Amino acid sequence: LWLPLFAKAIESKKDNGLIYDKKAIEIAEKASQLSPKLHKWWNNISKELQGIMIWRYLCIDEYVNNFISKKNESTIVNIGAGLCTRQQRINNSSVTWLEFDLPDVKKVWLEFNKESDNHKYFTSNIFEDDWINDIKSLQKGPVLFIAEGLFMYFSKKQVLEILKKIATNFSGSEIIFEAYSKFLLMLPQTDVKKTTAKNFPMPWGIKTGKEFEKWDHRLKHLGDNYLMENKNALKRMPLRHQIVSFIPLIKKGGKMVHLRFK
C-alpha cells in the first residue's frame, strides 16, 4: 500500500524530480507523523521502484488525459486503487472517479481524503457483481478502467474473469493495465521482499498485449507502452537495469497494455 505512494513522494521532493505529486507528498509526510515506523520508507525505496513509479505516473496520466479530452463526460474506474492520487492531479469536474480496493485500504484512504459527488471509494468484491452495479449507478459517459500494479498478483484465470465481466457489461469501454513477461515475474522484487507480501504467487506472463485478443474475441488490442523504453524511468533505474534494457527479453518485459472491449 505505502510503497507506490512513498516512491512518488520521494521523487516529487527532489530538486530535479521527474514527476511532481503534491498530494503524495502531503499524505506521506502526514502518515510519517501519525505512524513513525512508516518514516523508514523515505530512505528504503529502491531505484528500481522509483523508476517504475515514474513510468506509471507519466504513462497512465497520459492515457487518462487523452481519454477524457475527447469526451464531454467520462468515468474512470480504478481497480486496486490503494492510495492513488491521480484524481487530484487530473482535477476535471466532467470526470467521475470510482476507486475500488479492500475495506482496510479505504479506512486508510479516508484519513487523507474525502469522498465527493464525483469521487467515490468502493470496497465491493470485483469477482462478484456488486462492483458492476456500483459503476452503472454512477457512470457518466464512456468508461476507462485502470489496473495499476494489480493483475500480476492474480492468476491468469482471475484476470480473464475480470476482463470478461467488463466486456459483458461495458461494451465500448477501454482498459489500461500493467503486465509483465513470466520471466520477469519469476525474479524477486527488491521492495516486495522488504514487506510481508509474497512476490507474485501465481506468475503468468505475456510477450505483447496482442495476446489478449486470443483470450476473448471481444478484446481489441490498442497498443503497449514499455517500461524499459521510458527514458525518464531509466534515469532513476540502477545502472544494471539501464544496461540490460537493450536485451529484447528484458526491454519488452514490462508493459502497460491498452485494450478496448468490442
- For residue 222, what pLDDT is reported? 98
- Asked if 148 contacts 169 with a C-beta cutoff of 8 angstroms, the reply is no
Q: For 89-100, what is the mean pLDDT? A: 94
- For residue 202, what pLDDT is reported? 81
pTM of the entire structure?
Answer: 0.94
For the chain, the average pLDDT equals: 92
Contacts 24+ apart (CB under 8 A), 82-87: 82/1, 82/4, 82/5, 82/149, 83/1, 83/2, 83/4, 83/5, 83/27, 83/108, 83/109, 83/112, 84/4, 84/148, 85/5, 85/8, 85/21, 85/23, 85/24, 85/27, 86/60, 86/61, 86/146, 87/119
pLDDT tens for 5-31 read: 999 999 999 999 999 999 999 999 999
